[in-house]
Amino acid sequence: MLLRLELTGFKSFADKTSLDFAPGITAIVGPNGSGKSNVVDAIRWLMGEQSIRSLRGGEMVDVIFHGSPRRKSLGMAEVSLVLDNRRRWLAIEADEVQLTRRIYRDGNGEYLINGQPARLKDFRDLFMGSGAGAKGYTIIAQGRVEELLQANPQQRRELFDEAAGISRFKIRKYEALRKLSEVESNLTRSQDRLHSLE
C-alpha cells in the first residue's frame, strides 16, 4: 500500500530523504533520538493531523527543521507519500497516488494530490472510510494497544465501522437526516404561514 515516503525539512530530516517500502514488513531501526518516531509523525501529519500535541510539538511550524549546531533552520517542511492504488482503495482514478503537504514558517501551507492543489478536506475525505487516516487505526502509537484493550463496546464498534468502511456511510446518513429535518421544519413553517393567509 505504501510505496514511498519523501521528507524534506521535516523535523530532523533537513535534507531530502526518501524511504522506499518494499512488499512485506518494513522496520525502521536506529538509536534513541535518531528520528524513528519523526517518520511516523510525518505520515500522520501528511494524513491531515491538525493536533500538534499528537505530533509532539508546541505549534504547527515546529515540524519544520529548526536547525542544529551545524546547520541553520529551514523555511519549509514538505512530506510526500506515494500510495499504491491499483486496487482503488482510494477514490482516485490512478494506480499511484502522490499526496504532498507543505508548511512554511509563516504558517501557510499547501496540500497536493498527484501534483494538483487540494484542501485538507480533500485529504480527509480521501482517507475517510478507507481504513486509513490520521485518526484511523493504521498507525498504532505507543500506548494505543492498551487504549484499545480498555475501550468500551461503543468505542470498539467505531473502530470496526471505520475498518469495514461503514463509517463514511454513517456520516453521510447523519448529514442527510440533518438536512431532512431542516427541510421538514421549513415545510412546517411554510404551512403555518399558508394557513394564516387563508
Binding site for ligand ATP (CB under 6 A): 11-12, 30, 32-38, 62, 64-66
| CB closer to ligand ATP out of 59 and 93 | 59
3-state secondary structure at position 23 = coil
Single-letter code of the amino acid located at 17: T
State which residue has the least CB distance to ligand ATP. 37
Shortest Cβ distance from residue 57 to ligand ATP (Å)? 7
Shortest Cβ distance from residue 62 to ligand ATP (Å)? 6
Which whole-number Å values give the CA distances from 32 to 29, 144, 195, in the listed order? 9, 20, 75
35 labelled as ligand-binding? yes
24 labelled as ligand-binding? no
Helices within 72-166 (DSSP H only):
120-127, 144-149, 153-164
| Environment class of 66 (CB within 10 Å of its CB; exposed 0-12, middle 13-18, buried 19+) | middle
Shortest Cβ distance from residue 11 to ligand ATP (Å)? 4
d(CA 36, CA 7): 13
| CB closer to ligand ATP out of 15 and 192 | 15
Which triple of cell numbers denotes residue 99?
A: 499526496
Shortest Cβ distance from residue 45 to ligand ATP (Å)? 12
69 labelled as ligand-binding? no
**Cα pseudo-dihedral 3, 26, 129, 148, rounded to 10:** -170
| CB closer to ligand ATP out of 35 and 131 | 35
34 labelled as ligand-binding? yes
Query: What are the φ and ψ backbone dihedral angles of 13, each rounded to 5 degrees?
Result: -95, 80
36 labelled as ligand-binding? yes
Binding residues for ATP: 31-38
Binding residues: 31-38
